[in-house]
Amino acid sequence: MSIDRRTFNEDLGLRSGAVCLLPVMNSGKGNGAVNSRYSGKGLQLSFEAYELHLNHVFTIASYSRTSTPVMLVKIEWDGLVGYGEASMPPYLGESHETARKFLKGLDLNQFSDPFRLSEILTYVDSVAKGNCAAKASIDIALHDLLGKILDKPWFKIWGYNPEDTPLTTFTIGIDSPDVVMEKVKEAAPYKILKVKIGKDTDEEIINTIRKITDVPLCVDVNQGWTDKREALDKIHWLKEQGVVFVEQPMDKCNLDDMAWLTQHSPLPTIADEAIQRLDDVSKLHGAYSGINIKLMKCTGMHEAHKMLNVARSLDMKVMIGCMTETSCGVSAAAQLSPMVDWADLDGNLLISNDPFKGVEIVNGKVVLKNSPGIGVMKI
């Protein structure tokens, strides 16, 4: 069986002539080594439910929680293992039960060539609507597997420079001034903080943080503001406090008010709840300055890479974010980070029982290792 290089190249979203993995695949280490692995056996999927414990009660404008259900996924093929993860905060509607049902319904064994990435993921997406995090778990595990077969990390396959990774934000949830102060002190290694606001304590929280640190802040309103003129007044005040962008200030469905706000705002506005998958990107052009891409919303790395390219073509800002996740999901997202304006990749830092070791944050900056796939090890 031979690899259809043109198809795989298109699967990766690489334009013809772009820096890509073809030279590697055609080298002695590449093509021959890859072909020799073809055993004719199908992909073997397995998964286990896991509960992430959060270091702090996590509160945003609409709810609080202390844990997050995830599904840990493995795809095995010819002696290699790709790791994936579905993180399912309850407000997104997925759960251990829905993920188990979705994953049990998949027949990945029918695919004996893991390089048919687009074909496999199109099949996975077609099995049922929704289930975006469960779909992402398959996508991530497949990418990890392919990277291991090629012996290359994905940032390298995509042609990105690991030195271009951004600082990552560290999230401070809505809380009492005492707890906010404690969290900000814990966040001392981080060079930019993401502050959850959107209740009636916005000024109190920002003022509390500014007593301790003068690092740049970004704010995530989680749709908490309802009046566009009040929102604009708040954004002007936030800019004076050293805030650099505002995430999801108003209701995700309210595109008219958002377009007005973005047009008048002295700070970039970033869509989060309003953006989910590739088709949404162009619809938000003009209503927001940029988008927050999360693998668990958009079904994984394959679609996230396409979203990044579409947003760039529309001159929109791009942020890569995450849920509370293990280092598996965060390390997968981090592969895209050299190409984004901001990273919010602290999901693994907010939990106490991470079963993986992967991407690291050094002096507040995402550090990508030259490890194949998504660069994670099971602890």
| Site for Mg ion, rule CB under 5 A | 220, 247, 272
CB of 254 to Mg ion, least distance (A): 16
Q: Which of 147, 190, 181 is nearest to 34 (CA)?
A: 147
Which residues are 195's β-sheet partners?
Answer: 172, 219
Mode of pairing for the β-strands spanning 269-271 and 243-247: parallel
Joined tokens for residue 254: 């309210």
Residue nearest Mg ion (C-beta atom): 272
Give 139 or 272: the residue with its C-beta nearer to Mg ion: 272
CB of 321 to Mg ion, least distance (A): 6
CB of 269 to Mg ion, least distance (A): 12
Give 220 or 257: the residue with its C-beta nearer to Mg ion: 220
Give 247 or 303: the residue with its C-beta nearer to Mg ion: 247
Residue 224, CB-side half-sphere exposure with 13 Å CA sphere: 20
Q: Say whether 360 sits in a helix, a strand or coil.
A: strand
Give 12 or 322: the residue with its C-beta nearer to Mg ion: 322
Q: Which of 86, 84, 87, 99 is nearest to 58 (CA)?
A: 87
Give 113 or 220: the residue with its C-beta nearer to Mg ion: 220
CB of 141 to Mg ion, least distance (A): 25
Give 61 or 127: the residue with its C-beta nearer to Mg ion: 61
CB of 196 to Mg ion, least distance (A): 8
Mode of pairing for the β-strands spanning 342-343 and 64-77: unpaired
Q: Which helix (H) or strand (E) holds 271?
A: strand 269-271
Separation of alpha carbons 83 and 74, rounded Å: 5
Full DSSP string of 214-239 = -S-EEEE-TT----HHHHHHHHHHHH
CB of 180 to Mg ion, least distance (A): 18
CB of 168 to Mg ion, least distance (A): 14
Buried b (16+ CB within 10 A) or exposed e, 214-226: ebebbbbbbbbbe
Give 217 or 368: the residue with its C-beta nearer to Mg ion: 217
**CB 18 within 8 Å of CB 339:** no
